[in-house]
Amino acid sequence: MVDRKDFVQFFKYALVGFSGIFVNLFFLYFFTEFFKIYYLVSSIFSFGIATFSNFFINKIWTFREKLSEKIFAKGTKFLIVAGISLLVNTFFLYLFTDLLDVYYIISQILASGFTLITNFIGNRFWTFRE
């Protein structure tokens, strides 16, 4: 059974993730449309920027840790979880955009939904484990 603390953490994590989606979408569009970078390559850059900001917000706000507390070890774990999510995200982004002919921004929104639960589980029980 899920206790209140886990529910609150998941809610905060989802809010941070939701804000990260906007960061991701902004940079995805910016790199693709203004720099004319192929959308899958743009998605890697934008995913990295969003992941970087999400790490610090989750560390401080969601999981209530001091910024300096094991930052290298936890940052490495967070990046490993994010790397797995990047693979999942890229797969679904490609699937929706190239195979199902969905506009790449809409595809990114859909692909982001597939990573929320796995990201939370990986980061809650491995990266920010108490």
Query: Which of 13-17, 67-71, 95-99 is most confident?
Result: 95-99
Q: Give residue-wise pLDDT tens across range 18-63.
A: 899 999 999 999 999 999 999 999 999 999 999 999 889 988 998 8
- pTM of the entire structure? 0.84
Q: What distance in Å separates the CA atoms of residue 8 and residue 126, rounded to the nearest whole number?
A: 18
CA 49 to chain centre: 9
- Model confidence band, residue 102 (pLDDT cutoffs 50, 70, 90): very high
Q: Which domain holds residue 74?
A: 4-127
Q: How many domains are contained in the chain? A: 1
Residue 32 buriedness (CB in 10 A; 0-12 / 13-18 / 19+): buried
pLDDT(130) > 70: no
What is the reported pLDDT for 2?
Answer: 63
Q: 101 — alpha (psi -120 to 50), left (phi > 0) or beta?
A: left
Number of Cβ within 10 Å of residue 41's Cβ equals 12
